[in-house]
Amino acid sequence: MSFAPYPMRPTRSKRQPQPRTTKAVDSRKVVELKQTSTYKAATRPSKAQAKVQQPRQLTVAPIPWWLNLLLFLQYSSAALAVGLVGATLAIYGNSVSSQRAWDQEYDRLITLRRTERQLLASSELIKHQAAEQSSQSRSLVYPKPSQRVYVSVPSPQPAPVPVPVNRSPSPAPLGY
């Protein structure tokens, strides 16, 4: 193997290269590999080619201040737009969820009002039925003064005086 001063590069030759075969041993069988080499040692380029192939040194001109300002405005407006889109989506999500909750609570209010009307109607119906039964029945009589029961008022008792408990200081602390 020889070392060329220039890197090897592929060339297209008209004649077909002869394949080299090597044997690779697999644990199960012997496999024959064919390798083809299409690389040829590069020849030294001519002076005209050497001038063309050498890379040119690029110089970067400083960016004007107004262009930097425009770039800053572009980046900041893009960030502001992303922030506004995020805030808009958050507000929209909040309004949708609050509207859904309001609808559920309003349906609950309607149900409670309906239940209240039904309870009031059934209460009035029971009162009406009780009034009709009492007017039809002659078993109810007005109370007479001779049938009154008198209850005597008990005499006021003085409130019991609490007995003071004598506490002695304990030798060890009870806790923290």
Confidence of residue 147 (pLDDT cuts 50, 70, 90): confident
pLDDT beyond 90 at 76:
yes
Report pTM: 0.36
Confidence of residue 83 (pLDDT cuts 50, 70, 90): very high
Q: Is 42 exposed, middle or buried (0-12, 13-18, 19+ CB in 10 A)?
A: middle
What span, in angstroms and rounded, lies between the C-alpha atoms of 89 and 97? 12
Instruction: Of 71-85, 90-104, 115-129, 148-162, give the lowest mean pLDDT range.
Output: 148-162
At residue 5, the pLDDT reads 57
Q: Which of 60, 62, 9, 4 is nearest to 38 (CA)?
A: 9
Phi-psi sector, 147: left (phi>0), alpha (psi -120 to 50), beta: alpha
